[in-house]
Amino acid sequence: MASQLTGPVYIVDARRSPQAKSGMDLKDVQAPYLGAYLVRKMLDNLGIPDDEVDEVIFGNTGSPAKYPNVGRVIALEAGLHKSTSGYTVHRNCASGLEAVSQAFLKVASGRSDVIVAGGVENMSQMPLIYSKEMTDLFMNVMKAKTMGDKLKALAAFRPPHLSPIIAIEQGLTDPFCGLNMGQTAEKLAREFDISREQQDTFANRSHHLALKAQEEGRFKDEIVPLAVGERLDKILSTDVGPRAGSTVEGLGKMRPYFEKKSGTVTVGNACPITDGGSAIVFMSEAALKKYNATPIARVVDYHFHGLEPERMGMGPLLAMDGVFRRTNMTLEQMDLIEVNEAFAAQALAVQMAMKDEKLAARFGVDKAWGEIADEKFNVNGGAIALGHPVGSTGSRLVVTLAHELKRRKAKYGVASLCIGGGQGGAVIIENLVK
């Protein structure tokens, strides 16, 4: 029998960095620094001594060459004691959620009492890579002993060897089915018959809701301002992404990007490549008492599920189905639903399949969970406006969800995302702030 999960898992603080499109304000902020300051800030507030964090877990997909284990670096940069264990997890777009799920398991099983988990991604800094031919050439030159041998090795050089491999482009292409992420969205748009206008309307909604949330200061509690700029003497405190002038007409003028001749997916109705970080402090019941901490939420449970890589966008359908079954809960119980907006087409397809038994059945889900009401769905906008820093979004959704549940004094919320490679992840949390 599987080991019994014994205790409740509390979220006592949850924060994130402002998010900015790649190449913009956060481009020079190296990945660990997108997370470390959040950790320092939260632990300062909670008054937890620097040597009493059991584990620091961070999601990250870019794996910067300089920081192969970003999680541990974040622990140290945050000022935690050198004895603190730290590691990095990678589940593509859901890396941050994977970190959350590991924190959940470790605290629920009683193995850990205080865990910081989150995600960081600097997509601006993803490298260009030398081709295999060029790398081999370098190796041969290095191995060559005499000047003659070196010259001989160098003679193998041909100019095309210099054309770089763009790491981010490779990363966004599925190695199994060969489609890039945009193409998987095109596929869903075709199969679900989702029009260009529907997608653009969805994208426009995201921008307007995000802007409204900004104006009303709804992100103020969750965003910790960050020092930016070459000299680190500026402060960024809001997301750089939501566009005030966004209109459906304007979005309609953009050209399809992935299927240039007849497609419907544009960079306007897809999420932008983004930099950002997020972090959450989890505690056991015992730790709550020990540090006299007030929880803001409780993690109910999570679920991950796989599906065909070429329809990876439907991951949230399977993940939400899974987590509802696991917890004996229903869609109606959810006061808020966050589904990551990788692509408008993909998010729309998830909504459609959730309420349609036949569509759901195509993915092996034998139940229609119901309509995802507009007023519960991505209420402060989503990744199309705010961006999708791949390693962070999983935990970023939980941060935003926790704060919005708290603001509304609502009860349950689910956060879910599709995962490149053909998976979905979902987590349910319960607001504890009355």
Partner 1 sequence: MSYKRISYEVKDKTAWVGFGFNCNKSMTVLDEQSLIELREIVERLHVESSKLEGVIFHSHKDRCFLAGADINLIDSMKTESEAADGAEQGQQIFNRIEDLSIPTVAAVHGVCVGGGTELVLSCKTIIASDDDATAFGLPEVKLGLIPGFGGTYRMPKRIGLPAALDLILTGKMVKGYKAKKLGLADETYPKENLLKMAPSFFTKSKKKESLKDQLGHFAADNFLSKKIIFQKARENVLSKTKGFYQAPLKILDVMEAGMMKGRSSYLSSESQAFGELCVGEQSKNLRHIFFMVEEAKKYPGPEASGSSPKLKRGAVLGAGTMGGGIAWLMADNGMAPLMKDLNPDGLVLGLKQSSKNFAESLKRRKMTQDEFERKQRSITCQLDNEGFDKVDLLIEAVVENMDIKKKVFADTEKYVRADTLLTSNTSSLSVEEMSKALEKPERFAGLHFFNPVHRMPLVEIITHSKVSPETLKALYEWVLKVKKTPVIVKDGPGFLVNRILMPYLNEAGFLLEEGVSVKDLDDACLNFGMPMGPCRLLDEIGIDVGVKVAHILHEGLGDRAMASNFSQKMVDKKWLGKISNIGFYKYDEKGKPAGDNEELSSLLPGKSKKMSETDIQMRVFLPMINEASIILSEGIVDRASTVDLGLIFGIGFPPFRGGLLKYADGEGLDRILDALDKYASDVNEHRYKASDFLKDLVQNKKKFYEI
Residue ranges in contact with partner 1 by CB under 8 A: 30, 33, 36-37, 40-41, 44-45, 47, 77, 79, 225, 227, 231-235, 237
Minimum distance between the CB of residue 235 and partner 1, rounded to whole angstroms?
6
The DSSP 8-state label assigned to residue 271 in this structure reads P
Minimum distance between the CB of residue 326 and partner 1, rounded to whole angstroms?
36
Residue 70 or 372: the one with the smaller Cβ distance to partner 1 is 70
Minimum distance between the CB of residue 46 and partner 1, rounded to whole angstroms?
9
Residue 234 or 325: the one with the smaller Cβ distance to partner 1 is 234
CA distances from residue 356 to 185, 324, 359, 371, 372 in whole angstroms, order as listed: 19, 17, 5, 9, 11
Judging by beta carbons within 10 Å of its beta carbon (0-12, 13-18, 19+), is residue 143 exposed, middle or buried?
exposed
Please confirm, yes or no, whether 161 is among the known catalytic residues.
no
Residue 132 or 234: the one with the smaller Cβ distance to partner 1 is 234
Minimum distance between the CB of residue 64 and partner 1, rounded to whole angstroms?
13
Residue 43 tokens, joined: 């632990």
Q: Is the dihedral of CA 12, 18, 19, 23 positive or negative?
A: negative
DSSP string, 330-366: -GGGEEEEEE--SBHHHHHHHHHHHH-HHHHHTTT--
**Cβ–Cβ < 8 Å for 411, 431:** yes
Quote the distance between the C-alpha of residue 122 and its chain's center.
12
Residue type, 97: L
Strand stretches in 123-242, DSSP E: 128-129, 165-166, 226-228, 234-236
Please confirm, yes or no, whether 418 is among the known catalytic residues.
yes
Which one of the listed residues 207, 303, 305, 388 is annotated catalytic?
388
Residue type, 396: R
- Find, among 321, 351, 399, 394, the residue nearest to 94 by Cα: 394
**Is residue 403 classed as helix, strand or coil in its secondary structure?**
helix
**Cβ–Cβ < 8 Å for 350, 188:** no
| b/e burial code for range 32-45 (CB count within 10 A of at least 16 → b) | bbbbbbbbbbbbee
The DSSP 8-state label assigned to residue 83 in this structure reads T
Residue 80 or 385: the one with the smaller Cβ distance to partner 1 is 80
Minimum distance between the CB of residue 359 and partner 1, rounded to whole angstroms?
47
Residue 77 or 301: the one with the smaller Cβ distance to partner 1 is 77
Residue 116 tokens, joined: 């910081």
Residue 166 or 235: the one with the smaller Cβ distance to partner 1 is 235
Please confirm, yes or no, whether 177 is among the known catalytic residues.
no
Minimum distance between the CB of residue 227 and partner 1, rounded to whole angstroms?
6
Which one of the listed residues 93, 303, 305, 403 is annotated catalytic?
93
Place of tokens 């998987």: 184
**Cβ–Cβ < 8 Å for 402, 231:** no
Minimum distance between the CB of residue 78 and partner 1, rounded to whole angstroms?
9
Planar angle of CA 302, 429, 354, nearest 5 degrees: 65
Catalytic residues: 93, 388, 418
